[in-house]
């Protein structure tokens, strides 16, 4: 993965060269409603014997997009005493296969915020949608295994990034 970018009103590069342009989003077929996108080129090691990107590669791309998204939103660095995201549930629907050396965009967004959990969607784009994934994540303190409430500042930053996401704090 080479670069993180925010679309819409969130034009901030996370790392790498210049952010992707609206023309790139259009060229890859990214649909409206996505706030964070990273670039990737399918590696040989991510392909199966049939030359397709293996199913596990998609989950790795989603993980990279999720981590970069959360870092950009201000999730504190992971440590034994600070809360970090743990996957409770995940899934993916494949629409079209991908192959070695294809350039793709991987997008991420938050679609639900709970008190200690949140749900994210991910998508892979090349000439339109190739795969759509989701995950339910729980914030857990690694040292104790206890659930932790989402920090207020992190919640605020995610809501600011995601138009239409409910800003309320569940009880």
Cβ proximity of 68 and 2 under 8 Å: no
Going by pLDDT thresholds of 50, 70 and 90, the confidence category of residue 77 is confident
- Of 151, 123, 147, 152, nearest in space to 135 by CA: 123
Other CB atoms within 10 A of residue 44 CB: 8
pTM for this one? Answer: 0.85
CA distance linking residue 94 with residue 158, whole number of Å: 27
CA distance linking residue 9 with residue 153, whole number of Å: 19
Instruction: Give tens-digit pLDDT for 113-151.
Output: 999 999 999 999 999 999 999 999 999 998 999 999 999
Give the DSSP H or E segment for 45. none
Cβ proximity of 6 and 161 under 8 Å: yes
Instruction: Give tens-digit pLDDT for 2-50.
Output: 344 444 333 333 343 344 667 888 999 999 999 899 999 999 999 999 9
Could you tell me the domains of the chain? Answer: 4-161 (3.10.129.10)
Task: Look up residue 74 and give its DSSP letter.
Answer: T
Cβ proximity of 156 and 145 under 8 Å: no
- Of 89, 100, 81, 93, nearest in space to 140 by CA: 81
């Amino acid at each position: 993965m080479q670069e993180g970018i925010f679309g819409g009103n969130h034009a901030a590069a996370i790392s790498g060269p210049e952010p992707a342009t609206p023309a790139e989003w259009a060229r890859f077929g990214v649909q409206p409603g996505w706030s964070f996108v990273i670039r990737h080129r399918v590696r040989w090691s991510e392909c199966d014997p049939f030359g397709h990107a293996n199913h596990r590669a998609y989950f790795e791309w989603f993980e990279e997009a999720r981590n970069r998204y959360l870092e950009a939103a201000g999730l504190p660095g992971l440590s034994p005493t600070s809360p970090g995201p743990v996957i409770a549930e995940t899934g993916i629907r494949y629409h079209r296969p991908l192959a070695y050396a294809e350039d793709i965009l991987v997008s991420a967004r938050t679609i639900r915020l709970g008190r200690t959990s949140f749900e994210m969607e991910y998508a892979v784009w090349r000439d339109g949608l190739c795969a759509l994934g989701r995950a339910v994540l729980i914030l857990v303190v690694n040292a104790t295994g206890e659930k932790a409430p989402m920090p207020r500042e992190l919640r605020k930053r995610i809501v600011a990034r995601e138009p239409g996401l409910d800003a309320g704090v569940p009880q």
